């Protein structure tokens, strides 16, 4: 796979529509050519302590952030015509679908590829298939795990190696 957009969402709570940050990495010709990161005011706008424990974001971080619909208008032209790649794609696809429904925006039938599923098939010997483990096996040092852009970059690296 030479042309794609790796995407990662972090959520404020256990609702898929509660996206509080997004990272996108654009790959063309097998090279990273662009990236995008934004905090997002989640909907519903409350933080579950477990989610904050994972990514470190709080309501104070996103109170002045744009809502999803404003952020997606910036992302959409970047990913136009590209398949999307995510580690555990059902989660990220579910977040995207939920946010688009919440903001009454059209859901284009985005093609998603899953690096988690591919890693389980191609790298069965790994002790687990968490993003940081698979990234390391592919030669990428993920030092800021659960930051949406760092995770999208790791996913892009994995996709270039195994998809």
| pLDDT tens-place values along the chain, 163 residues long | 899 999 999 999 999 999 999 999 999 999 999 999 999 999 999 999 999 999 999 999 999 999 999 999 999 999 999 999 999 999 999 999 999 999 999 988 899 999 999 999 999 999 999 999 999 999 999 999 999 999 999 999 999 999 9
Nearest to 19 by CA among 66, 53, 77, 68: 68
Is-contact 59 45, C-beta < 8 A? yes
Q: pTM (2 decimals)?
A: 0.96
Rounded CA Rg of the chain: 15
Domain of residue 57: give its range: 4-162
Cα–Cα dist 30/135, whole Å: 17
Q: How many CB atoms lie within 10 A of CB 14?
A: 9
Cα–Cα dist 37/75, whole Å: 9
Q: Where does 11-147 have alpha helices with state H?
A: 49-55, 59-62, 68-79, 89-102, 115-122, 131-137
Cα–Cα dist 84/8, whole Å: 10
Helix (H) or strand (E) holding 86: strand 84-86
CA atoms within 13 A on the CB side of 1: 25
Helix (H) or strand (E) holding 7: strand 4-11
**CATH number of the CATH domain containing 122:** 3.30.420.10
Number of domains in the chain: 1
Is-contact 10 19, C-beta < 8 A? yes
Structure confidence at residue 54 (pLDDT): 95
Q: How many CB atoms lie within 10 A of CB 13?
A: 18
């Amino acid at each position: 796979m030479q042309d794609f957009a790796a995407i990662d969402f972090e959520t404020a709570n256990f609702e898929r529509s509660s996206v509080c940050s997004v990272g996108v990495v654009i790959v063309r010709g097998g090279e990273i050519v662009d990236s995008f990161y934004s905090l997002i005011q989640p909907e519903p706008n409350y933080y579950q302590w477990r989610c904050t424990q994972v990514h470190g974001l709080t309501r104070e971080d996103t109170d002045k952030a744009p809502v999803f619909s404003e952020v997606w208008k910036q992302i959409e032209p970047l990913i136009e015509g590209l398949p999307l790649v995510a580690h555990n794609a059902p989660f990220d696809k579910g977040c995207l679908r939920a946010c688009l429904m919440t903001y009454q925006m059209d859901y284009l039938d985005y093609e998603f590829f899953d690096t988690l599923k591919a890693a389980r098939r191609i790298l069965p010997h790994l002790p687990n298939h968490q993003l940081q483990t698979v990234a390391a096996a592919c030669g990428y040092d993920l030092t800021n795990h659960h930051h949406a852009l760092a995770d999208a970059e790791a996913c892009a690296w994995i996709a270039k190696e195994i998809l």
